Structure 1
Amino acid sequence: MTPPRPPHGSHLHHAGCGCAAGGGLSRRRLLLGGAAAGATLALAGCAQNPATGRSSFTGFSDIGDDVRLGAQEYPKLLEEFGGPYQDSRLQGYADAILRKLVPFTEFPDLPWQVTVANTPIVNAFALPGGKITITRGLLAMASSEAELAGVVAHEVGHVTARHSAERQGAGLLAQLGVLVLGAATGSSELANLAGYGAQAYIKGYSRDQEMEADLLGVRYMSAAGYDPEAMATFLQTLGDQARLEARMAGRDPGDVDAYNIMATHPRSVDRVRQAMQLAEAARPPAPVVAREPYLNEISGMLFGDDPEQGLILDRGRRFVHPQLRIAFDAPDGFRLVNGKSRVTAQHPSGAAAVVDLARGRTPDEALARWAGRAAAGRAEALALNGLPAATVPVRLDSRSGPVRGQAVVAPAPAAGTVVRFLFIAPAGQFGRYDEAFRRMTYSFRHLSAAEASAVQPLRLIVTRVEAADTIRDLSARMPYGAFNDDWFRLLNDLAVTDGLQAGELVKIVTQ
C-alpha cells in the first residue's frame, strides 16, 4: 500500500496469469529447447495460426489488434502486480532470456516485452501482442536460467497461440471479475474498489490451451539451446511450494491458492512431459542449464513483501506497513493479499475485505464523499483503539443482484490521509461474516516509531556450503520456525533423504 495521490487517493492491489503443478522428488534441475519457424503478422480474425496450425475466431481482424490490446492493458495489469521490480540487472537478465527465444517463434517481429513484477506471488502471465510478466516470487523459486526460460517460453506459447485473444473474442475479458460492481451504485470509486483488483479477474487457461502452450514452449526453448526437462522439474517445485504453503496455513495440501500459478495454469508434470514428447523437439547436444550464474543473479533480491507496500506477517494473517505506520489483522478463514495500491482479505466463499488509502481531513468527511448514494443507512461513529472512525452500510449492484457491504474509514498517521475498509460478501451472506468483519475493523491500529523501525524485509541470499554445514544450521536463519527445514529443501530442490555437498550454492531466506 502506498500513500495516496491527490485528488482521489490510491488503492492497495494485485493481478496475474501463471503456470502450474507437480509432484515432489529430489532434483538438480535441467531445462528445455526445440525447432521453430518464422512467420507473418497478418493473421485474420478467423484464419490459420502458423504457430498452432488451426483456425479460430478471435474477434480481432489481425495480430495488430493483439498488439494494441496488449499495449493498452499491460500497464494496468502490471500495476496490479506491484509495478516493475526496481532492479535493472534482473530486468535485463529476464529480457535477455526472452530475446534468445523470440527468433524461434512464428512471430519474431512482435514488440516482445518481459517485466519482473514486484510481488511475492508466484505467477506469470501473458497478454496479446507479446507482453509478458514474471513475478519476483517466481524468480525466487527457480534455480537455474533454464527453469526461468521454461516459464518464459510457456508464456510466449500463449501469445503465439493467441490464447488471450481467443478469450477476448469469447467475451471473457470483457466480463472481468466475479464481483464487478456498476457505477449505478452512485459511487464509481466504491464500485471499483469492490472489484478488488485485477487478481480477481484473472481466469485460468483451459487444459488444452496449457498443453498447446507447453508444446510451443518446448519447441522454442529447445531451439534456443535449453534443456526441455527443466520445464517439468520446475513445475514439480511449484507443486511442492503450493502444498507446503497450504500445510503452513492449515489447509488441505491439495488446496491451491487462487493466485498461485497452479490455479491460473492447470498443468501437471505428466502433461508437460507428454507435451515434450509430442513436440518432437530435438534435445540440444549441450543443453544450457546455467544454475550458478542464475543463482548469482537473484542473490540479494527481496523475498516476500516489499516494505514500501507493507508486509504480510504471521502466515498471511497480519498486515503491517512500517512507512505508513498502520497494522490490522485478517479474520479467521481469510487470506491477505498485498498489492501496490490495496490490500484484500479474501475468503474462499467470495467474501472479502478491501483496504486502501485516500485523502481526507476527517473520517466523517471521507466516508460521506466515498460512499455517496451507495450508503444504505445512517453513518455511525466508532472508536478503534482510541482512534476516531466512521462507518456506514452500503448497497452495491453485482451481476448476481444487490450485494450488501459495510464501509469504514479511520485516520492514518499522516495528516490529511485516511484508511478505508470495504467489507463485501455474496448476495444474502453478509450476516454470516459480520463478526469476522468487526474483528478486522477493531484490529486496526497505528504503529509506534519503534514498532515501525523494527519491521524489516526478507531477502533471498545465495551462499556456498562449507564442509561442516548442515541443513539445520543453514535453515536456522530462516523465518519459518518449524517449517525452516521444509522451506530450505524446497528452495534448494532437496528431498528429505538428500544432504548437502561442500562447495555448492544454496538459497536461504533471512533479514
Structure 2
Amino acid sequence: MSVSKTILLIVSTVSLFALSLTAGTGAELYNEFMDSDEFYDDPEWQDYVDELGQKLLSYSDDAGEEYYFFVLDNPGLNAFATPDGYIYVNRGLIMYMNSEAQLAAVIGHEIGHVVARHGAKRRRASLLGSGLAIAAQALTGRYEAGQATHAAFQTYLSGYGRDQELEADRIGAEIIAAAGYNPLSVIDAVHVLKDQEMFARQVKGQPPSYHGLFDTHPQNDKRLHEAVRVALPKYSDTIVEPVRDFWEMIDGLKYGVEQNIGTRDGHIIYDKSLRLVIEFPVDWKVRLKQTRVVGQAPGGPSEAEITIDRLVIDQEISPEKLVTDVLQRPDIKEVTSLEIDDSKSVYLAELEITDEDTTGALLAVHRHGYDYYVIRGDSGTKGSQKELRDAIRTVIKGIRNLSKDDLEHEQLVRIRVIVAQPGDTYAEFAKESPIRQHAEEMLRLINGHHPNAEPRAGDFVKIVK
C-alpha cells in the first residue's frame, strides 16, 4: 500500500470515528455499563448522587445543561466525567469520604472538567488514536497492532495535565462554596484519597488510580491551596441543609470486591472457593479471624467459644497421629470419641485446664473430603462441658458442601457506622473485621485517620462487617 493511500486511510478512518461519537461518549458508556450490569444496585445511592450532582450543577456555569450522575459498582478508587455531561463515581471512592461536603468536592471536581471543556482535547486525541489503530491493522493485517496503538493512546489519555486538574479543583471549589459547602473540603477529600494511594503504592505496589492526585501531598501542595483559596469569598458559614444524612447513607455501603468468604444469619460461615459451609448453633455468632473460624455462644466466651482450623495434609493420617505428631499437643488429658449420629463418631480429647475461668476444654478432629478440621472448644463459668460437647456436635454436623440455596442467601461485607466509645481503637475494630489483610490500616484510611490517629469518643466511625 502506498504512503498516499495510507494517509488517506487514516484521514478517512478519523472522519468515520468523528461521526460515531455524535451520540456522546458518556451515553455510549452508559449503555455499555447497563449491558454489563456495572451500576451499583442501590436506588437510594443512585438518587443521592444524582440529587447532590444536580444541586452542584445549578451553581456552575453549566446550570441548566443536561448532566447525568451515576454510581458504579466498582471497588476502585475513581470517578470520571465525559464531555457530554455524564459523571460516574465508583462506590470504592465513596467509602473513603467522611462527609457530604467531601463527596460534593469530588463531584464538583468532575463537573469542573466538563465546564472547562477538558474532555475536548481527550476526544480529539482519542479519535486520532482510534484512526491510527485501524490504519495499523489495515497496513499489517494484524489486530494486535491496532490494539497496541490504541492502548498507547488510552494510556496517554488516562489523566489530565496538572494545570487542568488544578483548574477543575478551582472550579469545583467555587461550585461547592456557592452551594454552601466549605471549599476546604476539596483539600480534605484529596488528603484522604492521597493517603490511600500512598498506602496502596507502598504495601501493594499499585499505581495511582484517581486522576486528580499528583506526587505532592495536599498538605504541602501550594498550588492546590491557592486554587481552593480563591473560592473562600463565595463561602458563607450559614448552615445549609444537606441533601441527605451522609452517615445514614454510608451505613450499609458494599465494601470491596465480592468476598469468597462470608457469613449469614449470624451463625453460618461459608467459603465459595472451598465450596464449604459451617453452621454453628442458631443463637451463636460466628466470624473469621485471619484464617480461623471463631464462634461464640450467646453469653460470649464466658459461656462458650469454639474455634476451627482447617488443615490440608497430603496423606491420610489418623486423628490420633495428627494430634500427637502434627499438632504436638502436650495438654491432652483423656482421649474419647464424640458420637455425631448413629453411624458416625469422631476423635475427641479432653484438655487440661489451666485457666480458672474455664470449666471445660475439648479438642475434636473431623475429616471432610481431603481436609481435616481441628475444633477447639472452651466453656466458661456461665457454661458447662456438656453443653460444649453438644455445641461441637452441632458444628461438626454443620460442616457441609456449599449449596445453591446458600449462594442465594449470601450476605455481603458492608460498611457499618457506629459511635466511638472511650478507649475504642482501630486495632480492636480490626480484630472483629472480615478484612483479611492490613485491616487496622484500612479502617484508619476509610475514616481519614491514617497513619496513626484513633477514634474520638462520640464520633461516627466506619467499620467493616
What TM-score bracket applies, with the shorter chain setting the length?
A: 0.5 to 0.7
| Contact map agreement 1:80 1:197 (CA 8 A) in 2 | no
What residue is the counterpart of 1:137 in the other structure? Answer: 92
Code of the aligned partner of 2:254: L
Instruction: Please state how far the C-alpha of 1:211 moved relative to its aligned partner.
Output: 1.4
Instruction: Please state how far the C-alpha of 1:449 moved relative to its aligned partner.
Output: 5.8
Instruction: Please state how far the C-alpha of 1:483 moved relative to its aligned partner.
Output: 2.0
What residue is the counterpart of 1:88 in the other structure? Answer: 43
Aligned with residue 250 of structure 2, among 289, 295, 298:
298
Q: What SS does structure 2 have at the residue aligned with 1:153?
A: helix
Instruction: Please state how far the C-alpha of 1:148 moved relative to its aligned partner.
Output: 0.5
Distance (Å, rounded) in 2 between the aligned partners of 1:272 and 1:67: 35
| Contact map agreement 2:422 2:457 (CA 8 A) in 1 | yes
| Contact map agreement 2:97 2:103 (CA 8 A) in 1 | yes
Code of the aligned partner of 1:259: S
Structure 2 unaligned regions, length at least 5: 1-13, 262-270, 276-399
What residue is the counterpart of 1:473 in the other structure? Answer: 428
Once the two structures are superposed, residues 139-181 of structure 1 have per-residue CA deviations (whole angstroms, 9 ceiling, x without a partner) of 1111110000001111001001110013223x23541599988
Distance (Å, rounded) in 2 between the aligned partners of 1:119 and 1:108: 29
Which has the larger Rg? 2
- Name the TM-score, length of structure 2 as normaliser: 0.56
What residue is the counterpart of 1:240 in the other structure? Answer: 195
Distance (Å, rounded) in 1 between the aligned partners of 2:412 and 2:144: 32
Aligned with residue 105 of structure 2, among 115, 125, 150:
150
Distance (Å, rounded) in 2 between the aligned partners of 1:124 and 1:132: 7
Code of the aligned partner of 2:47: G
Instruction: Please state how far the C-alpha of 1:74 moved relative to its aligned partner.
Output: 3.0
Distance (Å, rounded) in 1 between the aligned partners of 2:459 and 2:87: 32
What residue is the counterpart of 2:129 in the other structure? Answer: 175
Q: Which has the higher helix share?
A: 2
Structure 1 pair 132/292, CA: closer, same or farther in 2 (3 Å)? closer
Distance (Å, rounded) in 1 between the aligned partners of 2:449 and 2:177: 26
What residue is the counterpart of 1:211 in the other structure? Answer: 166
Aligned with residue 499 of structure 1, among 433, 454, 457:
454
Structure 1 pair 503/289, CA: closer, same or farther in 2 (3 Å)? farther
- Name the TM-score, length of structure 1 as normaliser: 0.51
Structure 1 pair 96/67, CA: closer, same or farther in 2 (3 Å)? farther
Structure 1 pair 168/98, CA: closer, same or farther in 2 (3 Å)? same
Q: Does residue 459 of structure 2 align to residue 509 of structure 1?
A: no
Q: Does residue 73 of structure 2 align to residue 118 of structure 1?
A: yes
Q: Does residue 430 of structure 2 align to residue 485 of structure 1?
A: no
Distance (Å, rounded) in 2 between the aligned partners of 1:120 and 1:201: 23
Q: Does residue 237 of structure 2 align to residue 285 of structure 1?
A: yes
Code of the aligned partner of 1:153: G
| Contact map agreement 1:141 1:238 (CA 8 A) in 2 | yes
Once the two structures are superposed, residues 386-444 of structure 1 have per-residue CA deviations (whole angstroms, 9 ceiling, x without a partner) of xxxxxxxxxxxxxxxxxxxxxxxxxxxxxxxxxxxxxxxxxxxxxxxxxxxxxxxxxxx
Code of the aligned partner of 1:273: H
Q: What SS does structure 1 have at the residue aligned with 2:415?
A: strand
Instruction: Please state how far the C-alpha of 1:209 moved relative to its aligned partner.
Output: 0.8
What residue is the counterpart of 2:209 in the other structure? Answer: 259
| Contact map agreement 1:463 1:506 (CA 8 A) in 2 | yes
Q: What SS does structure 2 have at the residue aligned with 1:134?
A: strand
Structure 1 pair 133/77, CA: closer, same or farther in 2 (3 Å)? farther
What residue is the counterpart of 1:368 in the other structure? Answer: none
Instruction: Please state how far the C-alpha of 1:241 moved relative to its aligned partner.
Output: 0.5
Aligned with residue 276 of structure 1, among 228, 247, 256:
228
Aligned with residue 166 of structure 1, among 121, 124, 142:
121
Code of the aligned partner of 2:209: Y
Code of the aligned partner of 2:24: L
| Contact map agreement 2:132 2:149 (CA 8 A) in 1 | no
Structure 1 pair 497/74, CA: closer, same or farther in 2 (3 Å)? closer
| Contact map agreement 2:76 2:90 (CA 8 A) in 1 | yes
| Contact map agreement 2:79 2:210 (CA 8 A) in 1 | no
Instruction: Please state how far the C-alpha of 1:266 moved relative to its aligned partner.
Output: 7.5
Instruction: Please state how far the C-alpha of 1:486 moved relative to its aligned partner.
Output: 1.3
Structure 1 pair 203/471, CA: closer, same or farther in 2 (3 Å)? closer
Q: What SS does structure 2 have at the residue aligned with 1:302?
A: coil
Code of the aligned partner of 1:102: L
Instruction: Please state how far the C-alpha of 1:223 moved relative to its aligned partner.
Output: 0.6
Code of the aligned partner of 1:218: A
Once the two structures are superposed, residues 19-75 of structure 1 have per-residue CA deviations (whole angstroms, 9 ceiling, x without a partner) of xxxxxxxxxxxxxxxxxxxxxxxxxxxxxxxxxxxxxxxx99xxxx99842454332
CA RMSD of aligned residues (A): 4.4
Q: What SS does structure 2 have at the residue aligned with 1:104?
A: coil
Code of the aligned partner of 1:284: S
What residue is the counterpart of 2:310 in the other structure? Answer: none
After superposition, residues 55-66 of structure 1 pair within 5 angstroms as none
Distance (Å, rounded) in 1 between the aligned partners of 2:244 and 2:104: 15
Distance (Å, rounded) in 2 between the aligned partners of 1:198 and 1:76: 23
Q: What SS does structure 2 have at the residue aligned with 1:111?
A: coil
Structure 1 pair 285/92, CA: closer, same or farther in 2 (3 Å)? same
Aligned with residue 227 of structure 1, among 161, 182, 185:
182
Instruction: Please state how far the C-alpha of 1:89 moved relative to its aligned partner.
Output: 0.2
Percent identity over the alignment? 28
Once the two structures are superposed, residues 294-321 of structure 1 have per-residue CA deviations (whole angstroms, 9 ceiling, x without a partner) of 12101112111246xx89xxxxxxxxx9
Structure 1 unaligned regions, length at least 5: 1-58, 312-320, 326-447
Code of the aligned partner of 1:300: G
Structure 1 pair 457/289, CA: closer, same or farther in 2 (3 Å)? same
Q: What SS does structure 2 have at the residue aligned with 1:215?
A: helix
Distance (Å, rounded) in 2 between the aligned partners of 1:112 and 1:155: 11
Once the two structures are superposed, residues 302-356 of structure 1 have per-residue CA deviations (whole angstroms, 9 ceiling, x without a partner) of 111246xx89xxxxxxxxx959x9xxxxxxxxxxxxxxxxxxxxxxxxxxxxxxx
Structure 1 pair 128/495, CA: closer, same or farther in 2 (3 Å)? closer
Code of the aligned partner of 1:74: L
Distance (Å, rounded) in 2 between the aligned partners of 1:216 and 1:286: 21
Q: What SS does structure 2 have at the residue aligned with 1:147?
A: helix
Aligned with residue 24 of structure 2, among 69, 74, 86:
69
Once the two structures are superposed, residues 276-310 of structure 1 have per-residue CA deviations (whole angstroms, 9 ceiling, x without a partner) of 12446422223659699212101112111246xx8
Code of the aligned partner of 1:282: K
Instruction: Please state how far the C-alpha of 1:79 moved relative to its aligned partner.
Output: 5.9
